[in-house]
């Protein structure tokens, strides 16, 4: 099974809302940290815009426990990655919120994605990225919604091309799309 194998340099876990992406990623990164004898690093991109989002963030933190160090960085992930301690497995959760943050700040999504993919390739430890697959649903009603869907699809494709392992989750079950590890 994949969870018993060492992590490759870059893994992408895709899926829909509540598909089990984060739980799967946490399991794999925690196992890798235990194998290496280090604390896992959770690189969180979510922002607590309201009480409901704050509650989601708190639930995620409580689920992880003390075996994790959490760093919250909603925007500058590409700049942060090279500064992290070498050899520690990193969970980047999630690319969807990171892209949302970029677009809300009127940053160029393509340029930011390019910088992120380069930083992921040079990360100091194995990285597992979590991202929503947003292209399976309805076409968004608004131009902003359609632009976001398109940028998310392009970002997922870029990270998947760079990753050694890509997994799609549905109903908590992983489906391996790519495994060059």
Active site residues: 60
Picking from 116, 113, 179, the residue whose alpha carbon sits closest to that of residue 150 is 113
What burial class does residue 90 get, using C-beta atoms within 10 Å of its C-beta: 0-12 exposed, 13-18 middle, 19+ buried?
A: buried
Picking from 117, 106, 109, 129, the residue whose alpha carbon sits closest to that of residue 161 is 117
CA distances to 64, 74, 125 from 69, rounded to whole Å, are 9, 16, 14
Positive or negative torsion for Cα 32, 38, 44, 50: positive
Q: Tell me phi and psi for residue 122, to 5 degrees.
A: -110, 15
């Amino acid at each position: 099974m994949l969870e018993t194998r060492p992590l490759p340099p870059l893994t992408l876990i895709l899926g829909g809302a509540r598909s089990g992406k984060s739980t799967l990623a946490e399991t794999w990164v925690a196992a890798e940290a235990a194998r290496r004898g280090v604390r896992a690093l959770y690189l969180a991109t979510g922002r607590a815009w309201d009480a409901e989002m704050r509650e989601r963030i708190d639930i995620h933190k409580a689920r992880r426990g003390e075996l994790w160090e959490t760093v919250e960085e909603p925007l500058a992930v590409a700049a942060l990655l090279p500064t992290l301690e070498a050899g520690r497995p990193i969970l980047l959760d999630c690319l969807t919120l990171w892209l949302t943050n970029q677009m809300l700040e009127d940053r160029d999504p393509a340029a930011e994605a390019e910088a992120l993919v380069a930083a992921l390739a040079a990360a100091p430890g194995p990285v597992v990225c979590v991202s929503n697959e947003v292209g399976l649903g309805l076409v968004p009603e608004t131009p902003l919604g359609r632009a976001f869907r398109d940028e998310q699809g392009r970002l997922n494709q870029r990270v998947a091309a760079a990753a050694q392992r890509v997994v799609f989750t549905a109903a908590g079950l992983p489906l391996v799309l790519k495994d060059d590890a």
